[in-house]
Structure 1
Amino acid sequence: MARNPYLLAADNPEGLISLLREDASLASGQDEHGYSLVHAAASYNHLDLLRTLIREFNVPVDLKDEDGETALFVVETVEAARVLVEELGLDARLQNEEGQMAKEKIEAEADWPAVAEYLQSLDAGSSSSTNGTANGVTSGGMELPPVPEGLSVTMGTMNEAEADTQLPDPEFRRRIEELAAREDFQTPEGQAELRRLVEEAVGGEGLSEERSVRPRQD
């Protein structure tokens, strides 16, 4: 009789890993509701299984169920949330079909307050790092999306007169804010469009050269 991978994910993660090495096609499978082994491993706090699914079997860490929810929506421990976000690179800002991020749903349900607190702390940390430029670049009061891969940014200072000439063009502001709000922003296509916008903003030059973004000096 065939072993049920979802039961193994709950009760016997080592047995599931052995099964997957016999049939790797099972790793990225989803049931009729879109529930995956990644969701199960995160929910049951089987962290080694979770890492193995993503790293060894290349299952997308942002796999979603029928409600548009990633594994982060079903975690019950801070440890599982941290592995997903900090080790495996899952974007904690991804939303479900109702427009909720994991932190919002978990906080509303109030079952796992420590997880909700951890997810809230991610935003607090990003907003306070390097004068508000932890994941993006702040220019003239506008917080830009994360810098695309391949672009190097250095921070310095300039006097107020110089800074006034560096305020973002209103049209560029509008276009980049529209792009950041799109559902496909984190996809390769969205990031490629962001790259094109940044290239245009710096004069159309290649991204291989280092750029300097200088905030206003108080």
Structure 2
Amino acid sequence: MSSNPFLLAADNSPNLLPLLRANPELASAQDEHGYSLMHAAASYNHLDLLRILATEFHVNVDLKDEDGETALFVVETLDCAKMLVEELHADIAVRGEEDKTAAQKIAEEGDFTDVAVFLRMKELEAGIAGVNGTSPSESTQANSVHAPPPVPEGLTVDLGTMNPDEDAGEVVDPTLRRRIEELASREDFQGEAGQEELRRLVTEVLRGEVGDEREVRQRTS
């Protein structure tokens, strides 16, 4: 039976917690590449394990691997991203060695668009700058060279993931909030026109092209 905590975490094995409670120092252990149990739990979407690591064993949710990346960089589901950010207070402003936040890296990889959009919205709320420390408006030009890949043509979003009373209400920027509410309330939201508009909005959010109005007000107030 394996006693390797990283393998046990990946499998969400029932043997892991007894091992950690007998050896609490293992909860914060990192391998030779800086990979931690936090990274493993986030990558494999083991939400209960993430919560236990943070609350019972007080593991730093922002542990960095050898690339300077935290567990947030390896998230593949919206639920996991929300837990890390909203419940466990992971730092969305952390930049890895490539000088990218988790939102930027996930957006460029193009596999988990809902996660990337959620994290970018959180960046907008916090007033976090765009690519390479530029403001969102400046990052629009920067991204013309290093633009994220196109949003997948088959992208569809369930209305539940864009509920104006929930997700949109968390977005500080009024322009972004208004556009989400208008889009989610359209009768043709699930049709071709609605989905095309959604793809456009998602691309703008990922590129930092939404939120300029809020940034201008902050700088001039």
- Quickly name the TM-score band, shorter chain normalised: 0.5 to 0.7
- In structure 2, how many angstroms separate the alpha carbons of the residues matched to 1:131 and 1:109? 28
Structure 1 residue 114: Cα displacement: 1.4
**Going by fraction, where is strand more abundant, 1 or 2?**
1
3-state SS, counterpart of residue 120 of structure 1:
helix
Match of 2:73 in 1: 73
**1-side partners of 2:82 and 2:14: how far apart?**
21
> How many residues are paired up?
139
Answer yes or no: is the 8 Å Cα contact 1:14–1:49 preserved in 2.
no
Instruction: Tell me if the contact between 1:13 and 1:49 (Cα under 8 Å) persists in the aligned partners.
Output: no
- Counterpart of 1:82, as a letter, is K
Moved over 6 A (4+): none
Deviations 1:160-184 (A, max 9, x none): xxxxxxx9xxxxxxxxxxxxxxxxx
Shift of 1:18: 1.7
Paired with 2:34 and 2:123, the residues of 1 have a C-alpha distance of: 28
1:66 maps to a residue whose letter is: E
**CA deviation after TM superposition for structure 1 residue 19, in Å:** 1.1
Moved more, 2-11 or 120-129: 120-129
Q: Cα RMSD (Å) of the superposition?
A: 2.5
> Which 5+ residue runs of structure 1 have no aligned equivalent?
133-137, 144-166, 168-214
Distance 2:20 2:69 in 1: 24
Question: Does residue 129 of structure 1 match 2:206?
Answer: no
Residue 46, structure 1, aligned to residue 46, structure 2:
yes
Which runs of 5 or more structure 2 residues have no equivalent in the other structure? 128-170, 176-213
Contact 1:13/1:46 (<8 A) preserved:
no
Kindly tell me: are residues 80 and 3 of structure 1, through their superposed partners in 2, closer, same or farther at Cα, counting changes over 3 Å?
same
Matched, 1:101 2:101: yes
How far apart are residue 21 of structure 1 and its match? 0.7
Q: Deviation at 1:113?
A: 1.2
Q: In structure 2, give the amino acid aligned to 1:71.
A: A
Letter in 2 for 1:64: K
**Letter aligned with residue 39 of structure 2:** H
Give, in angstroms, the shift of residue 97 of structure 1.
1.0
CA contact (8 A) 1:77 1:115 kept: yes
Cα deviation digits, residues 185-204 of structure 1 (max 9, x gap): xxxxxxxxxxxxxxxxxxxx
Cα distance change of structure 1 residues 11 and 131 upon mapping to structure 2, 3 Å threshold: closer
Shift of 1:91: 1.1
C-alpha separation in 1, matches of 2:32 and 2:45: 23
The one-letter code matched in structure 2 to 1:18 is P
Residue 30 of structure 2 corresponds to residue 30 of structure 1: yes
Over alpha carbons, which structure has the higher Rg? 1
Distance 1:13 1:83 in 2: 21
Point out the structure with the larger helix share: 2
| Alpha-carbon distance in structure 1 between the residues aligned to 2:116 and 2:217 | 29
Kindly, what percent of the aligned residue pairs are identical?
54
Q: What pairs up with 1:170-189 in 2 under 5 angstroms?
A: none
Q: Distance in 2 between matches of 1:15 and 1:97?
A: 34
Q: Secondary structure at the match of 1:27?
A: helix
Question: SS state of the match for residue 28, structure 2?
Answer: coil
TM-score by length of 2: 0.57
Per-residue Cα deviation, 1:131-151 (whole angstroms, up to 9, x for no partner): 89xxxxx9x9555xxxxxxxx
TM-score where L is the length of structure 1? 0.58
Distance in 2 between residues matched to 1:114 and 1:141, nearest whole Å: 28
Tell me if structure 1 keeps the 8 A contact 2:93–2:123: no
Q: CA deviation at 1:124?
A: 3.9
Report Cα offsets for 1:6-26 as digits up to 9, x if no partner: 111111343211210111111
Give distance in 2, aligned partners of 1:113 and 1:80: 14
- 1:126 offset after TM fit, Å? 4.5
